[in-house]
Amino acid sequence: MGEAVKPGAVEREKSGGAGNRRKWGIGSRGLFRRVVIGVPFLWLAGLFLVPFLIVVKISLSQTAVAIPPYLPTFGDPSTWWSGLTQLTLDNYVWIASDDLYFNAYTLSLAIAAASTVLTLLIAYPLAYGMAKAPPAWRITLVMLVILPFWTSFLIRVYAWIAILKPEGLLNQLLMSIGLISEPLVILNTPTAIFIGIVYSYLPFMTLPIYASLERMDHSLTEAAADLGSPPLKSFWTITFPLSLPGVIAGCFLVFIPAAGEFVIPDLLGGSRTLMIGKTVWLEFFTNRDWPVASAVAVVLVAILVVPIVIFQRQQARVG
Amino acid sequence: MKSLGSIRRDFAPWIDPASSPFLRFEDVTKRFGDFEAVDDLSLSIFESEFFALLGPSGCGKSTLLRMLAGFEMPTSGRIILDGEDMAGIPPYRRPVNMMFQSYALFPHMSVAKNIAFGLKQERMAKGEISDRVQQVLKLVKLEDYAKRKPDQLSGGQRQRVALARSLAKRPKVLLLDEPLGALDKKLREETQFELADLQHQLHTTFIMVTHDQEEAMTLADRIAVMDKGRILQVAPPAEIYEAPKSRFVADFVGNVNVFDGTVRSATGGRVTIETTGGFDIVAERDVGVEVGQRVSYVLRPEKLKIAAEPISGPNVMEGEVWDIAYFGPVTSFHIRLDTGAIVKVAMVNATRQSPLQLTWHDRAFVTFDEDAGLVVTQ
């Protein structure tokens, strides 16, 4: 007895910051660590944060027949103060007052949520099968999941047009085997968007789930069986809960980009399904209304920040 | 007959013809592809026995345990537990529980939930479950740790939780796969005695797999020494140590000197062996041997006597002190005979100041009694 371990002691042992610093032979100021963290930090600040702040600024501006097509601009320092006073929240008010934007947001989130669930339903059994495959096969199976990335994303989405269109490969196949007599209308419907998203994002769901299943100790399910739990029950009480970090990571990796997806709904969904990515595109190029386009984008980021924060909290807790 | 070792045992159902075994392996074979993990093995284990399967890694001991748990199916043969043939019974319906070498504690459940897991499968009433959990936690002295998660426990505590979890369902047989393997030496010694006490208290049949002969000797009522899928000898620890049936058993359990040779004469109670080292050994004859037969004489280091002065009589060897290791309770000498062979001698340090002063490269004389060692034919 008397071998009590305080919670947290284990974590402290693992992180061992001081030990690492000593290992790298660098003084207590951790110059090396600052550089290692600093470079990607500056990269993100310069290429993500600054452009985002510019977009925020444009969203507070007003359209103008000018180049660039909005006012105010901050070229001459003497006009900065008057420029600041011209910034307005009008664009946000406009978005809030028009149903079109609200519908586009809800449709985007609904499509993203539904396709995340569909992707999960396909990816989980796939990842489970991969994790249970003989170890020698696993590398090959992971390669097969990654393989589609070797072809351009755009080309793969175009390929789906050839498959899904009324005279496409799928309809030809179904008609030749006599399953249907009339071609199915899939292209330019929400169904085609689901197919496109599930297909494109499947690896992002499969790989984290596979990773969490693969590193799971096999003796845990044996222990569950040994203690009287039949296989299916062991899955729900042991395997699934322990793979949750992978499931959550996968869901966010699918949901977040799917909500802002532009290419797939544009190419496969037709003009009737107006998702938010398409809305931004229309405002920007067709209406030439940069401020409203920017406001729509900023609101989308704000909506997605919530799940990202939840995601990061979850990751921090797991780690 | 003189008793072997220094322990008198009251529990010995295996010598009682009236008692019937609780668990039987009947001609069990297990093949993995071309590899024969368990080779036509038969074994009987009795109720309330603490049984150890001892052998080097890959000898089939773990496979035997896993077949009993139901994780592997025998290629042929039967396993009969308490009169019931285990064939076709999945692991989750077998009245045995296993303590895994890795402990296999569910990381997302508290200690109490881990222990309750098996009880919940039996649809036991809630109050009864928590009573039982408290009971086994008390048994392993972890009452205060019920709410902890496994990663908030030390290695020794995790081992106890694993033990508690496998005991909670009161299995007919408890299977222990290298139960103390992951503990450090000091903790292992403490835990050994606790495990033995626990088994005496519960009267559950324990079957333990281990590669550590000391662990098997300390804990088990009987030990089965295994090699290459076969059982070489099943006997109580003292018998395994003092009367090994083969060179392998003698060599695997404890330290031993082995002298190979040929029987030159076998008269009455005595046998003379001409060893390949060029000297003769006169030994008590307790196995049937014939003149001319190739045999080995196995001799434990602590049964040899060492002296600095020449000794007269049979069974004397002379050589040079090659190595000395002082362990505290014993001092171990390696004596290099003139033939080049090394003889290991363990001298018990019965007094604080040894009358024997030997150092490296001194001449030393080694002798042993006629009944000190054992003639083995395998």
Q: What is the pLDDT of residues A2-22, one digit of tens each?
A: 444 444 444 444 444 444 444
Q: Can you tell me the distance from the alpha carbon of B90 to that of B94, in angstroms, rounded to the nearest whole number?
A: 7
CATH number assigned to the domain comprising residue B139:
3.40.50.300
Domain with B342 in it = 255-376
pLDDT at A318 over 80: no
Q: Among partner residues A1, A7, A224, which is closest to B141 by beta-carbon distance?
A: A1
Cβ contact, residue pair A228, B107, below 8 Å: no
Q: Among partner residues A3, A220, A227, which is closest to B97 by beta-carbon distance?
A: A227
Based on the fold, state whether residues B29 and B113 are members of the same structural domain: yes
For residues B84 and B22, the answer to whether their CB atoms sit within 8 Å is no
Based on the fold, state whether residues B291 and B371 are members of the same structural domain: yes
Q: B245 in a domain, yes or no?
A: yes
Based on the fold, state whether residues B85 and B184 are members of the same structural domain: yes
User: Is residue A92 very low, low, confident or very high in pLDDT (cuts 50, 70, 90)?
Assistant: very high
Query: What DSSP state is assigned to residue B216?
Result: H
Report residue B322 as tokens: 């090659």
Q: B268 in a domain, yes or no?
A: yes
A231-243: average pLDDT = 95
Based on the fold, state whether residues B112 and B149 are members of the same structural domain: yes
pLDDT digits (tens, 9 = 90+) for B140-186: 989 999 999 999 999 999 999 999 999 999 999 999 999 988 888 88
Cβ contact, residue pair A5, B69, below 8 Å: no
pLDDT at B6 over 50: yes
B248-272: average pLDDT = 88
Cβ contact, residue pair A222, B104, below 8 Å: yes
Percent of chain B with pLDDT over 70: 97
Report residue B365 as tokens: 């004389």
B248-255: average pLDDT = 90
Question: What per-residue confidence (pLDDT) applies to B75?
Answer: 96
Question: What per-residue confidence (pLDDT) applies to A5?
Answer: 42
Question: What per-residue confidence (pLDDT) applies to B323?
Answer: 92
Q: Can you tell me the distance from the alpha carbon of B264 to that of A185, in angstroms, rounded to the nearest whole number?
A: 98
Question: What per-residue confidence (pLDDT) applies to B231?
Answer: 95
Q: Among partner residues A5, A224, A241, which is closest to B153 by beta-carbon distance?
A: A5
Question: What per-residue confidence (pLDDT) applies to A291?
Answer: 93
CATH number assigned to the domain comprising residue B360:
2.40.50.140
CATH number assigned to the domain comprising residue A257:
1.10.3720.10
Based on the fold, state whether residues B181 and B106 are members of the same structural domain: yes
Based on the fold, state whether residues B320 and B362 are members of the same structural domain: yes
Question: CB-based contact (8 Å) between A242 and chain B?
Answer: yes
Question: What per-residue confidence (pLDDT) applies to A6?
Answer: 43
Question: CB-based contact (8 Å) between B71 and chain A?
Answer: yes
Cβ contact, residue pair A226, B92, below 8 Å: yes
Report residue A162 as tokens: 């050839």
Q: B2 in a domain, yes or no?
A: no
- How many domains, in total, are found in chain A? 1
Q: A173 in a domain, yes or no?
A: yes
DSSP-derived pairing of the beta strands B205-210 and B173-177: parallel
A81-98: average pLDDT = 88
Question: What per-residue confidence (pLDDT) applies to B265?
Answer: 85
B200-208: average pLDDT = 92
Q: A251 in a domain, yes or no?
A: yes
Q: B7 in a domain, yes or no?
A: no
pLDDT at A213 over 50: yes
Question: What per-residue confidence (pLDDT) applies to B50?
Answer: 94
| Residue whose structure tokens are 């985002």 | A52
Domain with A312 in it = 98-318
Q: Give, in degrees to the nearest 5, the angle at Cα A223 between B43 and A215.
A: 125
Q: Please give the ipTM for the structure prediction.
A: 0.84
Lowest pLDDT segment from A84-88, A307-311, B105-109, B117-121? A307-311
- Tell me the average pLDDT of chain A: 87
Question: CB-based contact (8 Å) between A134 and chain B?
Answer: no
Report residue A300 as tokens: 């989308």
Distance from CA of A183 to the nearest CA of B (A): 50
For residues B67 and B30, the answer to whether their CB atoms sit within 8 Å is yes
Q: Which of A186-190, A273-277, A303-307, B22-26 is most confident?
A: B22-26
Question: What per-residue confidence (pLDDT) applies to A50?
Answer: 94
Give the mutation candidate from B99, B103, B117, B194 for the A interface (greatest A CB count, under 10 A). B117
B258-270: average pLDDT = 86
Based on the fold, state whether residues B120 and B39 are members of the same structural domain: yes
Based on the fold, state whether residues B59 and B145 are members of the same structural domain: yes
Q: B8 in a domain, yes or no?
A: no
Based on the fold, state whether residues B137 and B280 are members of the same structural domain: no
Based on the fold, state whether residues B269 and B191 are members of the same structural domain: no
User: Is residue A289 very low, low, confident or very high in pLDDT (cuts 50, 70, 90)?
Assistant: very high
Contacts of B104 in chain A (CB under 8 A): 217, 219-220, 222-223
* Prediction pTM value: 0.81
Question: What per-residue confidence (pLDDT) applies to B187?
Answer: 86
**Alpha helices in chain B, H assignment, sequence order:** 61-69, 111-121, 126-139, 155-167, 185-202, 213-219, 237-242, 247-252
Q: Locate the chain A residue with the closest alpha carbon to B175.
A: A226
Q: Which has the closest alpha carbon to B217: B183, B242, B200?
A: B242
Count other Cβ atoms within 10 Å, centred on residue A274: 17
Question: What per-residue confidence (pLDDT) applies to B2?
Answer: 55
Distance from CA of A2 to the nearest CA of B (A): 10
Find the helix or strand (DSSP H, E) in which A298 lies: helix A290-318
pLDDT digits (tens, 9 = 90+) for A33-70: 888 888 999 999 999 999 999 999 999 998 888 888 88
Q: Give, in degrees to the nearest 5, the angle at Cα B235 between B230 and B239.
A: 125
Question: What per-residue confidence (pLDDT) applies to A310?
Answer: 78
Based on the fold, state whether residues B241 and B362 are members of the same structural domain: no
Q: Can you tell me the distance from the alpha carbon of A91 to that of A179, in angstroms, rounded to the nearest whole number?
A: 51
Q: Which has the closest alpha carbon to A146: A210, A196, A193, A191?
A: A210
Q: B6 in a domain, yes or no?
A: no
Based on the fold, state whether residues B263 and B293 are members of the same structural domain: yes
Q: A67 in a domain, yes or no?
A: no
Question: What per-residue confidence (pLDDT) applies to B353?
Answer: 83
Distance from CA of A6 to the nearest CA of B (A): 7
Q: B5 in a domain, yes or no?
A: no
Distance from CA of A223 to the nearest CA of B (A): 6
Give the mutation candidate from B98, B114, B141 for the A interface (greatest A CB count, under 10 A). B98
